[in-house]
Amino acid sequence: MTVGSLFSGIGGFDLGFERAGFEVRWQVEIDPYARAVLERHWPNVSRYFDVRRVRHLERVDVVCGGFPCQDVSFAGPGEGLAGARSGLWSEFRRIIRSLRPRYVVVENVAALAVRGLDTVLGDLAALGFDAEWSSISACAVGAPHLRQRLFIVAYTNGEHGRPGLRDSVTRAFRPLQAFDGFESARAGWQARLANPSELYGGADGVPDRLHRNHGIGNSIVPSVAEWIARRILEAESIGA
């Protein structure tokens, strides 16, 4: 199966889906440092600069991405999807409408649950998608930090004469909602706080440290993306 990423950052979604066996076909990212990272790791993948101007993307099975969170985050001005940056969800929606992928995976900060989730789900429904969603902490998949994020998996129902697709995706994705119940994961995160430099893999003293930390801070944990990608493959297998 194929995947394309919007707001690609340093490739957290791309790496996770690739690990699950997907082929990355294109990426859209405006930040120069992040684009350099993508170029190094995916030299043969098509890349585009500005999500507002990109047209004629190749159709893929999955479109994924984490649109900007600054206006959604509780640390931000609180404009939500009406803000200039988080309002780029409208471009995400435009590309979904244009490409009609079989699956859409959306990521944002947990605050989206009260600052725009209803709009995102409504937009997806208007485009013919059902969805499952859950707030996931990075520490629940073994990462040395909390990083709680909201993930949405949207899917068409009954495509190509397969009316069971909705049920299979629901069954495949629902276990993700149990991840945050792992107290041992939270305990491991707390223990790692004793050594804050571990959060960034010893970034002190390395070239482009600030850009590197910024890229990591904006990225998702690839293990979560990989888990979701494998559940999509599982749903495909069940619905076949």
Q: Which of 69, 111, 120, 139 is catalytic?
A: 69
pLDDT of residue 173: 61
pLDDT of residue 140: 75
Paired with 132 in beta bridges are: 153
Residue 69 annotated among the catalytic residues of the structure: yes
CATH number for the domain harbouring residue 27 = 3.40.50.150
What is the count of structural domains for the chain? 1
| Per-position pLDDT tens, the chain of length 240 | 999 999 999 999 999 999 999 999 999 999 999 999 999 999 999 999 999 999 999 999 999 999 999 999 998 888 999 999 999 999 999 999 999 999 999 999 999 999 999 999 999 999 999 998 988 887 777 776 777 899 999 998 655 444 445 556 556 665 555 555 445 555 555 555 566 555 555 545 555 555 555 556 678 999 999 999 999 998 888 765
Task: State pTM to two decimals.
Answer: 0.84
pLDDT of residue 208: 59
Q: Which domain holds residue 172?
A: 2-239
pLDDT of residue 171: 65
Q: Helices 12-19 and 32-41 meet at what angle, rounded to 10?
A: 20
Residue 51, φ and ψ in degrees, nearest 5: -60, -25
